[in-house]
């Protein structure tokens, strides 16, 4: 990552204490974009939902016509071995990944038998509770399965996210609230999104245009356990303009409050603050995978 440091790389059965080269110029992943990845976290000595992230990277590889060959338990063992290379208390971003080395001569698809695997660990701090984002609209939209491999966490999807962010930042905002092809809000350019209205929590219903994240699912479970009513439903921009609170959810930062959407301002409210507390409480009680 652009902001990561102290990188450690696992490839070809061994750990390396640097940002090791893993891909050749002729690899299918380099020139035809067959790379997939997932992201998990180490913080406070915990790796919450790591098993789910390892399972999802294998599912992403399959969705991209590759053959994942590292089982979830084996992947967990390799990751924990690598995390021991960091001093106690270091926050780490954990990124397992697959890509294809070869392709077929007759079409652009990857050769499943040539699938490669690596893990990248990067020292990366958690955001403080007061760190917030602002949102605007973007003309770019989330694709559907008929247009892109949206059932995978694939590197080839991220140029679309990048142009959303470039447009938002050119307008003076941090991120963008993104719609699907029908004009319904799907997520932000980088994370799932929620709003709070009259003490109840609403989030876009998964409709096959975005990945309904692992951390998003954890928040919904924690909110329900705390007695908060949650709704997965169709939402539009006006719903967000009318909201009492808005926040984003992703693995990298877990909970990111939103303080503005195109001139509509929000406080970092009690539900957002409580959600963050609940996530940390759950993580400490659940421990690590």
Report the relative pairing of strands 230-233 and 200-204 from DSSP bridges.
parallel
Strand pairing report for 5-11 and 115-123: antiparallel
For domain 133-284, give its CATH number from 3.40.50.620, 3.20.10.10, 3.30.70.20, 3.40.630.10.
3.20.10.10
Extract the tokens encoding 178. Answer: 């993104």
Spatial separation of the C-alpha atoms in residues 281 and 261, rounded to whole Å:
29
Report the pLDDT value the prediction gives residue 47, as an integer from 0 to 100: 96
The whole model's pTM is what?
0.94
What is the pLDDT, as a whole number, of residue 286? 82
pLDDT attached to residue 162: 97
Tokens of 253: 């930062």
Dist CA 168 CA 161 (whole Å)? 11
Note the pLDDT of residue 105. 62
Q: Which of 165, 187, 181 shows the shortest CA–CA distance to 240?
A: 187
According to the model, what pLDDT value does residue 161 have?
A: 96
Q: What is the reported pLDDT for 289? A: 77
Predicted pLDDT of residue 287: 72
| Main-chain dihedrals φ then ψ at residue 177, nearest 5 degrees | -90, 120
pLDDT of residue 252: 84
The confidence score (pLDDT) of residue 35 equals 97
pLDDT reported for residue 108: 86
Give backbone dihedrals phi and psi of 220, rounded to 5 degrees, phi first: -60, -40
5-123: which CATH topology? D-amino Acid Aminotransferase; Chain A, domain 1 (3.30.470)
- The 10s digit of each residue's pLDDT in 187-213 is 999 999 999 999 999 999 999 999 999
Report domain extents, the chain.
Answer: 5-123, 133-284
d(C-alpha 223, C-alpha 279), whole Å: 9
Query: Any bridge partners for residue 98, and if so which?
Result: 36, 117
Give residue 49's pLDDT: 96
What gap in Å lies between CA 177 and CA 238, rounded to an integer?
12
pLDDT number for residue 106: 61
Regions of the chain short of the pLDDT cut 50 = none
């Amino acid at each position: 990552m652009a902001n990561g440091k102290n990188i450690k790389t696992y490839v070809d059965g061994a750990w390396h204490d640097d940002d090791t080269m893993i891909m050749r110029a002729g690899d299918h992943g380099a020139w035809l974009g067959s790379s997939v990845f997932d992201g998990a976290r180490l913080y406070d000595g915990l790796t919450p939902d790591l098993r789910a992230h390892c399972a999802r990277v294998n599912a992403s590889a399959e969705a991209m016509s590759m053959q994942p060959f590292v089982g979830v338990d084996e992947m967990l063992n390799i990751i924990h071995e690598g995390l021991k290379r960091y001093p106690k208390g270091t926050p780490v971003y954990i990124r397992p990944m697959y890509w294809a080395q070869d392709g077929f001569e007759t079409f652009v698809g990857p050769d499943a038998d040539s699938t490669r695997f690596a893990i990248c660990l990067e020292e990366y701090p958690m955001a403080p509770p007061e760190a917030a984002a602002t949102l605007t609209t973007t003309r770019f939209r989330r694709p559907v399965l008929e247009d892109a491999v949206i059932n995978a966490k694939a590197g080839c999807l991220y140029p679309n996210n990048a142009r959303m962010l470039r447009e938002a930042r050119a307008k003076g905002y941090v991120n963008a609230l993104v719609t699907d092809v029908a004009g319904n809000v799907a997520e932000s350019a980088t994370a799932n999104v929620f709003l709070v209205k009259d003490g109840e929590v609403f989030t876009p219903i998964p409709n096959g245009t975005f990945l309904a994240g692992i951390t998003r699912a954890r928040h919904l479970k924690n909110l329900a356990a705390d007695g908060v009513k949650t709704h997965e439903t169709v939402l539009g921009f006006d719903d967000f303009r009318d909201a009492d609170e808005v926040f984003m959810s992703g693995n990298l930062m877990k909970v990111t409050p939103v303080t503005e959407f195109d001139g509509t301002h929000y406080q970092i409210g009690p539900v957002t603050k409580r959600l963050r507390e609940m996530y940390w409480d759950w993580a400490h009680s659940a421990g690590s995978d």
